[in-house]
C-alpha cells in the first residue's frame, strides 16, 4: 500500500511541478548507479521543495530525512512517513529529543543495507544563501554504520546541487545537478576514522561547490551577491556563474529585469482562483521562515486548485452544459500553464 501511495503521489506531484515550474533542468542523471545502495547528499536552500524536486526526478524510490518540526501534526506525520520521509531531530528541538535520532539512523541503515536509496541534507538546515556551508558529520555516521554491519554491500554517495533562480518566486526555475558517485567502500581502508570523516566531508563539500552556485561566505558575500543579482545572471547556469565568481568578474553590466507582459493573464488566474488565492495570502502571513514560502505556495496550489476548479466546473455544467464545464476546467488549467511557461522569473 505504501509503495502504491508513494508512486501515485510521485506522479501527481510531478504533474503539479510541471504546472508550477517554468523549467527544471536536470544534469547527470546517468551518474546514478543502477545497482547498489545510494546515499544522495544535497545542498538545502528551499525547504521541503528540495526533497520533492529530487524525489520526483529520479527513478528509484527514495526515503529522505527532514526536520522533525514538520511532523508535529499526527495526520501530516502519517502522510509524510507513507511518502518515505523520516524526522531528524536537532538541538533546537530539545536535547531530550536527540536520542530519537538513534532510531532514525537504524532505519536509515535498514534502507541502505537492502540496496535502497536515502536522501540527506548534510548542511543540517536550510538556508537561501548561495554558498555551501560547513557539513555536519551525520551522513558519515550513516555510512560507517551501514558498512560496518554490512561489509559486503556496495554503497555509493551521489552529491546533488540544487540551484534556483529565485527560491521564493513563482514560476519556479531550477537546476538539479547530479554529480559522479563516490564509492564509500573505499574509505573503509583507512584505519584512522577521524581522518576518514574529514576526507569524506571535504570531498563532498568540494563536489557540492561545483554542482551549485557557490559564493564564499566571507565579509564580501552580500556585496558580491547583490552585484551578481543586479546583473540578472542566470544562476541556473551553474558552470558559467561559478566561473564568473571564481574570476571575480566585477565589470558586469547591470540589467533591468524583463517586463512581465503576462501580467493580465496572472490577474485573470487570480480572479478565477479567488478562494485558493485568498487562503494562500492568509497562510503566507504566518510563514516565519522565507525558505518555506515556496513549499507552502506549492502545497496550497497542489491541493486546492484542482478541487476548486472541479467545483467551479461542476457549477458551470449545471448552469450551462457538461461540455461547457469541461471546456472551462481545461481552459483554467491552460491559463496557469501559459503563465508558468512564459512569464519571466525574477532574480533572487
pLDDT in tens, the chain (348 residues): 567 778 888 899 999 999 999 999 999 999 999 888 999 999 999 988 999 999 999 988 899 887 777 777 777 777 777 777 887 777 666 667 667 777 888 888 899 999 899 999 999 888 999 999 999 888 898 998 898 888 889 999 999 999 999 988 899 999 999 999 999 988 876 677 788 888 999 999 999 999 999 999 999 899 888 888 888 788 999 999 999 888 876 566 666 767 788 899 999 999 999 999 999 999 999 988 888 899 999 999 999 999 999 999 999 999 999 999 999 999 999 999 999 999 988 776
pLDDT tens digits, residue range 106-137?
Answer: 888 899 999 899 999 999 888 999 999 999 88
User: If you count them, how many residues does the chain have?
Assistant: 348
Q: Where are the domains of the chain?
A: 2-211, 263-342
pLDDT tens digits, residue range 15-55?
Answer: 999 999 999 999 999 999 988 899 999 999 998 899 999 99
CA 86, distance to chain mean position in Å, is 16
Residue 95: the pLDDT is: 64
Give the CB-side neighbour count of residue 304, counting CA atoms within 13 A. Answer: 16
Please give the Cα distance from 210 to 239 (Å, whole number): 8
What fold characterizes domain 2-211?
Glycerol-3-phosphate (1)-acyltransferase (3.40.1130)
DSSP labels, 7-76: HHHHHHHHHHHHHHEEEEEEE-GGGS-SSSEEEEEE---STTHHHHHHHHTSSS-EEEEEEGGGG-SHHH
Q: If 0-12 CB within 10 Å is exposed, 13-18 middle and 19+ buried, where does residue 3 land?
A: exposed
Amino acid at each position: 500500500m505504501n509503495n502504491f501511495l508513494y508512486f501515485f503521489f510521485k506522479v501527481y506531484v510531478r504533474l503539479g511541478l510541471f504546472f508550477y515550474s517554468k523549467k527544471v533542468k536536470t544534469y547527470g542523471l546517468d551518474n546514478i548507479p543502477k545497482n547498489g545502495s545510494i546515499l544522495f547528499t544535497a545542498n538545502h536552500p528551499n525547504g521541503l521543495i528540495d526533497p520533492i524536486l529530487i524525489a520526483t526526478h529520479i527513478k528509484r524510490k527514495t526515503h529522505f530525512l527532514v526536520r522533525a518540526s514538520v511532523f508535529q501534526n499526527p495526520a501530516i506525520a502519517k502522510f509524510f512517513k507513507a511518502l518515505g520521509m523520516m524526522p531528524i531531530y536537532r538541538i533546537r528541538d530539545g536535547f531530550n529529543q536527540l536520542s530519537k535520532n538513534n532510531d532514525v539512523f537504524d532505519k536509515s541503515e535498514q534502507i541502505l543495507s537492502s540496496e535502497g536509496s536515502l536522501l540527506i541534507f548534510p548542511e543540517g538546515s536550510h538556508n537561501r544563501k548561495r554558498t555551501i556551508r560547513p557539513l555536519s558529520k551525520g551522513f558519515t555516521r550513516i555510512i560507517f554504520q551501514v558498512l560496518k554491519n554490512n561489509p559486503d554491500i556496495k554503497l555509493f554517495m551521489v552529491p546533488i546541487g540544487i540551484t534556483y533562480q529565485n527560491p521564493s518566486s513563482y514560476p519556479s526555475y531550477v537546476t538539479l545537478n547530479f554529480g559522479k558517485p563516490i564509492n564509500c567502500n573505499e574509505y573503509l581502508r583507512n584505519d584512522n576514522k577521524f581522518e576518514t570523516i574529514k576526507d569524506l566531508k571535504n570531498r563532498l563539500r568540494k563536489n557540492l561547490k561545483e554542482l551549485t552556485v557557490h559564493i564564499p561566505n566571507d565579509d564580501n558575500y552580500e556585496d558580491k551577491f547583490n552585484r551578481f543579482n543586479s546583473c540578472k545572471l542566470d544562476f541556473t547556469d551553474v558552470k558559467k556563474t561559478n566561473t564568473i565568481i571564481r574570476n571575480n568578474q566585477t565589470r558586469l553590466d547591470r540589467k533591468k529585469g524583463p517586463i512581465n507582459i503576462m501580467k493580465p493573464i496572472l490577474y485573470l488566474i487570480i480572479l478565477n482562483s479567488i478562494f485558493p488565492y485568498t487562503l494562500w495570502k492568509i497562510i503566507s502571513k504566518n510563514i516565519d521562515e522565507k525558505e518555506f514560502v515556496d513549499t507552502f505556495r506549492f502545497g496550497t496550489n497542489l491541493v486546492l486548485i484542482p478541487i476548486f476548479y472541479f467545483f467551479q466546473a461542476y457549477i458551470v455544467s449545471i448552469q450551462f452544459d457538461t461540455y461547457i464545464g469541461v471546456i472551462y476546467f481545461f481552459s483554467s488549467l491552460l491559463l496557469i500553464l501559459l503563465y508558468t511557461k512564459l512569464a519571466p522569473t525574477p532574480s533572487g
